């Protein structure tokens, strides 16, 4: 009854590996760079880049369930191998961006939508998790705080529903170990709809020092990220932030349904990660 956790180097995947191990559930940690993983004793690491079908047979050997990141490039080959291996359940980490009526035209939403559609067409039973904004997205602000002393925000009044990565991991844990809610699609959110400006204030309280921001034009922000963010993705983010500027994000209780406890607040996430911001200064 082994579970393969793809993306085990990421915050959600690594947390899920630890949770499964603590629960006594056999788990195999997959990553494109398995040698870099810091795993609990006895957990096996396996190389499994999700764009490399040659890695799939060994990774999926004797596996019965999978926690799958949304990588569309070789998803059909992955699912074919999963069917051959006898996988009986996939929990997909998708995105609430697919709820957008124009998701196919949004590069972030489109890649998740492609994987969802591939799973829907396969014979492998699937549960889909669609989290909203990851609270951990705020970690990207560390570099600006460390180098410039302030964050550039094109839409400081844009709302999101920041969700703690542990809540996503625990939701997946329940589905993979207990099976309650298996086969559904769940829109996971944090417990609050917060603007970026409100998030910086919460971070400042947790860190104990100001977290200032500059309001910049969308054009200036896009120019500042050109070196590491493709233009289509930058445009997708800007369009999303513009659409939620001044518009609170609808919330759900899906985390509580799947875990039995309310979703953690952004203040809790900020307290858990305060040292990362202190070290960046």
* Cβ–Cβ < 8 Å for 57, 94: no
The two three-digit tokens of residue 102, written as one number: 């124009």
What pLDDT was estimated at residue 103?
74
Is residue 172 helix, strand or coil? helix
Structure tokens at 142: 């560390």
Phi, psi of 183 (to 5 degrees): 95, -5
How many DSSP H helices and E strands does the chain contain? 12, 11
Entry pTM: 0.95
118 in Cβ contact with 75 (< 8 Å): yes
Radius of gyration, CA atoms only, the chain: 19
β-strand partners of 93: 69, 129
Alpha-carbon distance 107 to 9, whole Å?
Answer: 23
What does the alpha-carbon distance between residue 274 and residue 281 come to, in Å, rounded to a whole number?
A: 12
What one-character DSSP code corresponds to residue 128? E
Cα 143 from Cα 39, distance rounded (Å): 27
pLDDT of residue 198: 98
Domains of the chain, each with CATH number or no CATH: 2-131 (3.40.50.720), 134-163+191-248+264-281 (3.40.50.720)
pLDDT tens, per residue, the chain with 281 residues: 899 999 999 999 999 999 999 999 999 999 999 999 999 999 999 999 999 999 999 999 999 999 999 999 999 999 999 999 999 999 999 999 998 877 777 888 899 999 999 999 999 999 999 999 999 999 999 989 988 899 999 999 999 999 999 999 999 999 999 878 899 999 999 999 999 999 999 999 999 999 999 999 999 999 999 988 899 889 989 999 999 999 999 999 999 999 999 999 999 999 999 999 987 66
């Amino acid at each position: 009854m082994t579970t393969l956790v793809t993306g085990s180097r990421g915050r959600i995947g690594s947390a899920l590996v630890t949770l499964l191990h603590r629960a006594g559930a056999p788990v195999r940690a997959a990553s494109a760079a398995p040698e870099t993983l810091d795993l609990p004793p006895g957990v096996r690491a396996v190389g499994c880049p999700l764009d490399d079908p040659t890695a799939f047979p060994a990774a999926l050997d004797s596996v019965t369930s999978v926690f799958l990141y949304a990588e569309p490039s070789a998803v059909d080959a992955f699912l074919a191998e999963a069917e051959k291996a006898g996988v009986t359940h996939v929990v997909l980490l998708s995105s609430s961006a697919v709820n957008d009526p124009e998701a196919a035209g949004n590069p972030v939403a489109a890649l998740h939508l492609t994987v969802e559609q591939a799973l829907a067409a396969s014979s492998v039973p699937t549960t889909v998790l669609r989290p909203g904004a990851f609270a951990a997205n705020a970690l990207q602000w560390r570099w600006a705080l460390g180098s410039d002393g302030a964050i550039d925000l094109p839409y400081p009044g844009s709302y999101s529903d920041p969700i703690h990565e542990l809540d996503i991991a625990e939701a997946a844990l329940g589905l993979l170990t207990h099976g309650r809610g298996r086969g559904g699609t769940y829109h996971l959110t944090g417990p609050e709809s917060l603007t970026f400006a409100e998030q910086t204030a919460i971070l400042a309280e947790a860190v104990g020092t100001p977290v200032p921001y500059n309001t910049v034009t969308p054009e200036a922000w896009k120019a500042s990220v050109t070196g590491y963010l493709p233009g289509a993705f930058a445009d997708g983010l800007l369009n999303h932030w513009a659409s939620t500027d001044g518009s609170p994000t609808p919330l759900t209780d899906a985390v509580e349904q799947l875990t039995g406890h309310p979703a953690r607040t952004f203040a809790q996430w900020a307290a858990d990660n305060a040292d990362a911001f202190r070290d960046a200064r």
